[in-house]
Amino acid sequence: MTARPSDYTISCIVPVHNEGPDILGFLRQLHGLLKKQTSRFEIVLVDDGSTDDSLFAVAAEAEALCLVLVRFSRNFGKEAAMTAGLQKARGDVVIIIDADLQEPMEVIPQMLEHWHAGYDMIYAVRDSRKDETLLKRIGVRLFYYLMAQGNSTEVPPDARDFRLMDRKVVAALNQLPERNRFMKGLFSWVGFRSLAIPVRIAPRRIGRSSFSFLRLAELALTGITSFSNVPLRIWGGIGFVISLMAFLFALYTIVKTLVFGADVPGFPTIVVSIMFFTGIQLLSIGILGEYISRVFIEVKQRPHYLIAEEIDRSPLRDPAA
């Protein structure tokens, strides 16, 4: 294992979507904390199509806060914002943290210690979900259960996007070209020596979460379809079982007819079986469609995001450029 350099640089990526005026306070606090860790660092702020005006104030302080400000042309989602941040980040160590002060930035020094000790990725895991609704907790459990089925990439339950990564992890992530980006899956997929540390997630003080139940469900679907083909394969098994049942029923009917003669068949049986098998077929076509639509998104090869404006006041920028 190679020793970590004592003179290392840090990039801290912050995805932002309508976080209101509190963002400036958060950035000052983060700047103060990073300054204690190393002399050279940058904060990569990705404005994911915010429609409030809080970032105007931030732009004015870009120099003092060592900011790289990347403004998307519209809202592309947190996964795209993190992707952009990872591509812009230049530090030896890269940290991703939410802008809403829910995640405890005090653990960053602890994460750095683990990095010095040889870990390449140190990620936060929320210690409790007691503050969430029952419906969300059930949904989350179901999601991680489905993710674990026949999936070679183990996605640790309750992991946050809040994490610290070595440069080589970021280089690996930047090689992944897919459009259907479920970052928590990609973080696990790349591997490297990883360590989970439990953190307490504070309640949101202002504003509200951008992730509604529907949006979380959409993200979950992206996660499952991009990391598992069990939903596709399962239909082979179901088809086999149904065919077997049909064959046995045919045998039974032949024998019954030969022994007892033909009688008038029951309409309910026919109606129910037609409805049942149509349902099964539509369901399987629907799942097929889900995967095809994602293949369609991939082949279009559209960029992950579009940048409307970029301000670079990072001390890490190449002076020649």
**Other residues' Cβ atoms within 10 Å of the Cβ of residue 126:** 18
Task: Identify which of residues 81 and 120 has a Cβ nearer to ligand UDP in the complex.
Answer: 81
User: 48 and 15 in contact (C-beta within 8 Å)?
Assistant: yes
Nearest distance from C-beta of residue 33 to ligand UDP, angstroms: 17
Helix residue ranges per DSSP H, 228-266: 230-260
d(CA 316, CA 10): 9
Residue 183 or 190 having the CB closest to Mg ion = 183
Which residues of this chain interact with Mg ion, rule CB under 5 A?
100, 102
The answer to whether 211 contacts ligand UDP (rule: CB under 6 A) is yes
What angle do the packed helices 267-300 and 230-260 form, to 10 degrees?
160
Residues between 43 and 62 that touch ligand UDP (CB under 6 A): 48
User: Of the candidates 139, 210, 287, 297, which one interacts with ligand UDP according to CB under 6 A?
Assistant: 210
Out of ligand UDP, Mg ion, none, which partner does residue 278 contact, by CB within 5 to 8 A per kind?
none
Nearer to ligand UDP, 16 or 93 (CB): 16
Please say which residue, 157 or 207, places its beta carbon nearer to Mg ion: 207
Under rule CB under 6 A, residue 184 binds ligand UDP: no
CB 99 within 8 A of CB 48: no
- Among 37, 54, 75, 153, which residue interacts with ligand UDP (rule: CB under 6 A)? 75
Return the one option of ligand UDP, Mg ion, none that residue 16 interacts with (CB less than 5 to 8 A, by type). Answer: ligand UDP
Residue 47's binding partner out of ligand UDP, Mg ion, none, with CB under 5 to 8 Å set by partner kind: none
- Is residue 15 at the binding interface for ligand UDP, with CB under 6 A as the rule? yes
Q: How far is the CB of 307 from Mg ion (least distance, A)?
A: 24
- What proportions of the chain, in percent to the nearest 5, are helix, strand and coil? 50, 15, 35
Strand 10-16 and strand 67-72: the pairing is unpaired
In the bound state with Mg ion, the residue whose beta carbon lies nearer, of 2 and 51, is 51
> What DSSP character marks residue 45?
E
Distance of CA 184 to the CA centre of its chain: 4
Work out which of 27, 34, 81, 108 binds ligand UDP, going by CB under 6 A: 81
**Exactly one of 73, 209, 229, 253 binds ligand UDP (CB under 6 A); which one?**
209
Mark 93-132 with x for binding to ligand UDP (rule: CB under 6 A) and - for no binding: -----xxx-x------------------------------
Strands (E), 63-155: 67-72, 93-96, 121-126
**What residues have CB less than 8 Å from 118, skipping those under 6 apart?**
1, 193
Tell me how crowded residue 36 is: count the other CB atoms within 10 A of its CB.
Answer: 8
| Exposed / middle / buried, residue 173 (Cβ in 10 Å: 0-12, 13-18, 19+) | buried
Give the binding site for ligand UDP (CB under 6 A): 15-17, 19, 48, 75, 77-78, 81, 98-100, 102, 209-211
